[in-house]
Amino acid sequence: MAGDYDLVVVANRLPVDRVEEPDGSTSWRRSPGGLVTALEPVMRREDGAWVGWAGTPGDPPEPFDAEGVRCVPIGLSAEEVQEYYEGFSNGTLWPLYHDVIVAPGYHRSWWEAYVRVNERFAEAAAEQAAEGATVWVQDYQLQLVPRMLRRRRPDLSIGFFNHIPFPPFEIFAQLPWRKAIIDGLLGADLVGFQRAADANNFTRACRRASNLPARSGRIRLDAEGGREVRAASFPISIDYKALDELAQREDVAARAAEIRRDLGNPEFLLLGVDRLDYTKGILHRLKAFEELLDDGRTDVGEVALVQVATPSRERVEQYVQLRQDVEVTVGRINGTHATIAHTAVHYLHHSYGREEMAALFLAADVMLVTALRDGMNLVAKEYVASRHDERGVLVLSEFTGAADELGQALMINPHDIDGLKDAVVRAMRMSPREQARRMRALRRRVADHDVQRWAASFLEALEEHHGQAAGRAS
Ligand code: GDG
């Protein structure tokens, strides 16, 4: 039974957040985020539906229209939130796909919940999609959906995009359910990744785990009449134009100046903005900063570090531990180095509005992105998009997807603390001329490869590949 929608996006979360109004009623507000911005115009044009969880456990609300998009909520019980979301997604897959920075947990009950919840998403998507529609499944929480969907609806054109890295086979091989995950993804026509290296890792996993003939991004499925799945990279980006315009607003510039004044007008303002996540290398960054102060290569009279650490996954054990470690470290650095007049680290465990973020980017002389592993890292691109004044230096970890594109950043290995310290000092002392030269090149890259282009190129590639496959089959 086919539904009405020609384009269906399936993601763990809906693109809207529930808002409690003062009169006790609830309404829905678009959640901030690149994916929503990227897909909104296509969704409007194509008559789109979005299948996702509304963010709170319990019975789901009825489908509704918000911001021109049909939203189809999926219900998760409190136990499923724990086992499918906090458990298998964030306690197993997240660390496994990020180079096992912390140990993944392998629990059969988590896996069973993951399978069950993926079925529910697939069922809902199958109900919404029109005959021959395109369905675009997002991210690691839903890797079984492509196969489950194809079983129900072989007429669909199915795409999958993985927002996080895909690990080398030697690491992926740990997963007791590795074959099932590969088979789940291979239900798609096109499997997209952030980096070419991720696509290669996936192709290799198809060969090694499932013995499939796979090369140069094409995996042939003899058991399905020779159907071919394509794996390729589509580096995600940001809404460059919107952020560029926001950062040029007078009130945002005024707020940036105010932030610097409130911090005591440091000569150098260093900034970190991350979800409080162990993949982001926040402790490595703090260690480098602490040592620079210890060594006397800089002091709180000339430098301040602002670290925004947005609360995240607060019920997952390793995140509780990380928060403690970060807070102890910040306390130690400030205890040792702060004076009555100057704080060393301004640690902000909150989330902020878009304007405040843009003002922070505009105020910062040096942006520190020190992730140990990151699919892309949008913050790096957001910093660049905010710097219409062509000032500021981006210090960027080699282990981010963004490093493949942003070659004019100062590249660092976050494990090499001495190298990181040298890069921070170099960034602080860089001449305005060199800053401008680098920033111009970075801005050109992000402007030309924005999130709108990302979405369009994925959907075009999907259409093309699906068309070819249909041509071969007929
Ligand atoms: C995953 C992958 C990949 C953060 N704090 C606030 C805030 N943010 C915004 C940032 C940025 C986004 O959240 C975070 O995106 P990142 O890419 O940096 O990292 P993840 O959350 O880990 O995202 C990642 C991404 O998916 C997309 O594919 O790049 O590799 O891990 O946009 O600005 N925004 C606001 N207030 C905050 O306090 N408004």
Residue 102's alpha-carbon distances to 90, 98, 309, 434, in angstroms, are 11, 9, 19, 38
Report pLDDT for 467.
76
Report pLDDT for 389.
98
* Local confidence band at 340 (pLDDT 50, 70, 90 cut-offs): very high
Cα 420 to Cα 288: distance, rounded to the nearest angstrom: 7
Q: What is the DSSP secondary-structure string of 368-435?
A: EE--SSBS--HHHHHHHHH-TT---EEEEETTBGGGGT-TTSEEE-TT-HHHHHHHHHHHHH--HHHH
**Torsion sign across C-alpha atoms 188, 191, 192, 193:** positive
* Local confidence band at 471 (pLDDT 50, 70, 90 cut-offs): low
Task: For residue 175, count other CB atoms closer than 10 A to its CB.
Answer: 21
In one-letter notation, the amino acid at residue 76 is L
Ligand 1: centre distance to CA 377 (Å): 7
Q: Are 140 and 193 in contact (CB under 8 A)?
A: no
Name residue 27's beta-bridge partners.
Answer: 19
CATH number at 5-236+453-473: 3.40.50.2000
Tens digit of pLDDT for each residue in 28-80? 888 766 677 778 777 877 879 999 999 999 999 999 998 778 999 999 999 99
CA end-to-end span of the chain, whole Å?
23
Maximum distance among all Cα pairs of the chain, rounded to whole angstroms: 77
Tens digit of pLDDT for each residue in 215-238? 889 999 999 999 999 999 999 999
Ligand 1: centre distance to CA 32 (Å): 10
Phi, psi of 199 (to 5 degrees): -60, -40
Q: Whose C-alpha lies nearest to ligand 1, atom 38? A: 351
**Residue from 376, 384, 394, 405 whose mutation best tests the ligand 1 pocket (most atoms within 8 A of CB):** 376
Cα 362 to Cα 256: distance, rounded to the nearest angstrom: 6
Ligand 1: centre distance to CA 173 (Å): 28
- Average pLDDT across the chain, whole number: 95
Q: Whose C-alpha lies nearest to ligand 1, atom 26? A: 163
Q: Are 462 and 189 in contact (CB under 8 A)?
A: yes
The position carrying tokens 């952030």 is 194
Residues of the chain with pLDDT > 70: what percent?
98
Q: Which atom of ligand 1 is nearest to the CA of 351?
A: 38
Name residue 9's beta-bridge partners.
Answer: 50, 136
The answer to whether domain 240-448 has CATH 3.10.310.70 is no
| Residue ranges covered by each domain of the chain | 5-236+453-473, 240-448
**Residue from 378, 382, 451 whose mutation best tests the ligand 1 pocket (most atoms within 8 A of CB):** 378
Q: Whose C-alpha lies nearest to ligand 1, atom 21? A: 275
Evaluate whether 5-236+453-473 and 240-448 have a shared fold.
Answer: yes
Cα 202 to Cα 195: distance, rounded to the nearest angstrom: 11
Q: Are 244 and 385 in contact (CB under 8 A)?
A: yes
- Tokens (6 digits) for 183: 């088979």
Ligand 1: centre distance to CA 74 (Å): 23
Ligand 1: centre distance to CA 158 (Å): 26
- Tokens (6 digits) for 26: 């609830």
Q: Are 146 and 188 in contact (CB under 8 A)?
A: yes
Ligand 1: centre distance to CA 235 (Å): 14
Q: Are 60 and 48 in contact (CB under 8 A)?
A: no
| CA-only gyration radius of the chain, Å | 23
Q: Is 217 strand, coil or helix?
A: coil
Structure pTM?
Answer: 0.96
Q: Are 400 and 458 in contact (CB under 8 A)?
A: no
Alpha helices (H) along 22-107: 34-46, 78-80, 94-97
Alpha helices (H) along 236-376: 240-247, 250-262, 282-295, 317-337, 354-363
Report pLDDT for 231.
98
Q: Whose C-alpha lies nearest to ligand 1, atom 15? A: 378
User: Nearest 10 degrees: CA dihedral of 386, 388, 394, 400?
Assistant: 50
Out of 28-32, 150-154, 195-199, 316-320, which region has the weakest mean confidence (pLDDT)? 28-32
Ramachandran class of 235: left when φ > 0, alpha when ψ lies in -120 to 50, beta otherwise:
beta
Q: Report residues whose beta carbon is within 6 angstroms of any ligand 1 atom.
A: 32, 163-164, 236, 273, 275, 308, 310, 351-354, 357, 374-379, 382
Phi, psi of 100 (to 5 degrees): 45, 50
